Structure 1
Amino acid sequence: MRFIDTHCHLDFEEFRDRLSHHLTEAQALGVGQWVVPGVTLKQCRTLPAFAQLHPGVHIAFGLHPYFMAQHSATDMPDLAALAHLHRSQLVAIGECGIDGMVDDVTAQQHLFIEHIVLANDLRLPLIVHHRKSHHLLTKAFKQCPPQNGGVIHAFSGSLQDAQSYLKLGFKLGVGGTISYPRAAKTRTTLAQVPLQALVLETDAPSMPLAGYQGQPNVPKRVVEVFEQLCTIRDESPEKIAETLYNSSQSLFSC
């Protein structure tokens, strides 16, 4: 079986000393490609060189809403210029979105719409962060419809939420959240949507699976996310793996 981790922060400090080890472990389990999103302008500037050092790594540029206090007024125009410059290396725009637990939702919404505009301009999918913000994302998508779909990262929500994203061409990111008993609603939703609407992700070093709380998440555990997904789907593991791999490849042109 082959796997693509469609969302992992391999360039973060937690992996600096042992990244090669972690990638080798993941490769031994069939994980051969990773999508590394941007979170700040400074970090995005380092991603093209990072990707060149690590075969199988694909990159995206974005300003994460969690870092709103760090983003300056010129960061988005500078990010757009950087994205045009490195268009050939990019597989998406993001990580971007709206976080209902972060201050100044109005500014977040404005910044998110600018990401949608950039993705449309470059004909790229979006990697979208959400937290208590499905209604705000929907509002932004109505104001500026995305033209190339993307991924709703770490999806959690109802079947109605899921269906509204699928109609816009988005896929749902399946991560370690589904390993927790409290995720019953999300597990039920992910069991009901079309298989081709799902992609796998770790969000490493964040979003650890149940049993690994307090530890940095690592790239090889995307296979454990896959195993969790298999417990709630009717298709065979082989069919699930093949479909998710092909869906990820198609979405990110990788």
Structure 2
Amino acid sequence: MLVDSHCHLDFPELAENLPQILALMQENGVAYALCVGVNLENLPRILTLAEAHAQLFASVGVHPDNETAAEPDVDALLQLAAHPKVVAIGETGLDYYWHKDQPEWQRQRFRQHIAAARSCGKPLIVHTRNSAADTLRLLREEGADRVGGVMHCFTEDWEIASAALDLGFYISLSGIVTFKNALVLKDVARRVPLDRLLVETDSPYLAPVPYRGKINQPGYVRHVAEEIARLRDIPLDELATATTDNFFRLFKAAKRV
């Protein structure tokens, strides 16, 4: 059994084919998926999905590069996070790829999310792109180690992974780990402790080999898991059991069915 720890089933590319997507999840042994929020405006449609399907969970947050989204404050995040199917705060973090001026509004938004996570006791889903040093700095400064979380779609090197692990965070790997030239990430996949590892698709983006370049979906997380199991020289079943147990250990509000 596998869990896709990060996907966006509410995005149009996936929402319009939901029955087929859920069927492929079942065929590939993907028993659960976490549908991650990127803004507050579209959270209702994520909650509708999670309420209708026992195998789906939700998170609440505003993506760091979503400049025009309604700005969340701690109280708003806490109110939304009280929903029983919301298991995490995020995705949040920093993204300097699109915002090369490294804006303070991103850092302030990140601080609001960390404060909300600490208040409600639900873990963080952290996005970092071209911003690893600042991301780790803010996590430390705001006491994120008290609540923990996951560095989602991890693309950094072992030094950054190790620093995140020291803060109590998990490392989640996406389809990028299946790419032939992702040698640094393959090294990370071998070295992360098995009890701190998650797998994800970040669908509809970043489809793994052999679907690279196509629309991604949660059922394809099996290919991510197969590649990591190969890199670690362990059976797929062992990797699947560990990452599933890790998911439910981290996201304590998520209930197995």
| TM-score normalized with structure 2 length | 0.92
Structure with the higher helix share, 1 or 2 = 1
Per-residue deviation, residues 44-81 of structure 1 (Å, max 9, x unmatched): 2332222111221100000001212x1244x3356325
| Contact in 1 for aligned 2:38/2:90 (Cα 8 Å) | yes
SS of aligned partner of 1:42: coil
Give the deviation of 1:228 after TM superposition: 0.9
Paired with 1:124 and 1:25, the residues of 2 have a C-alpha distance of 29
| Contact in 1 for aligned 2:78/2:120 (Cα 8 Å) | no
Per-residue deviation, residues 109-168 of structure 1 (Å, max 9, x unmatched): 111011000000000100011111110111101210112211101111221111111111
Q: Which of 63, 78, 87 is matched with 1:91 structurally?
A: 87
Equivalent residue runs for 1:67-82 within 5 Å: 67-68=66-67, 70-73=68-71, 75-77=72-74, 79-82=76-79
Paired with 2:140 and 2:51, the residues of 1 have a C-alpha distance of 37
Give the deviation of 1:236 after TM superposition: 2.6
| Contact in 2 for aligned 1:41/1:79 (Cα 8 Å) | no
SS of aligned partner of 2:159: helix
Give the equivalent residue in structure 1 for 2:108: 110
| Contact in 1 for aligned 2:21/2:218 (Cα 8 Å) | yes
Tell me the amino acid that sits aligned with residue 153 of structure 1: H
| Contact in 1 for aligned 2:4/2:201 (Cα 8 Å) | yes
Identity value in percent = 30
> Across the two proteins, how many residue pairs are aligned to each other?
250
SS of aligned partner of 1:92: strand
Paired with 2:140 and 2:248, the residues of 1 have a C-alpha distance of 27
Paired with 1:219 and 1:89, the residues of 2 have a C-alpha distance of 18
SS of aligned partner of 1:58: strand
- Residue 120 of structure 2 is aligned to residue 125 of structure 1: no
| Contact in 2 for aligned 1:62/1:79 (Cα 8 Å) | no
Give the deviation of 1:83 after TM superposition: 2.1
Give the equivalent residue in structure 2 for 1:139: 137
| Contact in 2 for aligned 1:204/1:218 (Cα 8 Å) | yes
SS of aligned partner of 2:3: strand
- Residue 151 of structure 2 is aligned to residue 155 of structure 1: no
SS of aligned partner of 2:54: coil
Gaps of 5+ in 1: none
| Contact in 1 for aligned 2:89/2:117 (Cα 8 Å) | yes
Per-residue deviation, residues 173-209 of structure 1 (Å, max 9, x unmatched): 1110011122101111220121111101001101111
Identify if the C-alpha distance between structure 1 residues 42 and 180 changes in structure 2 by more than 3 Å, giving closer, same or farther: same
| TM-score normalized with structure 1 length | 0.93
Give the deviation of 1:95 after TM superposition: 0.7
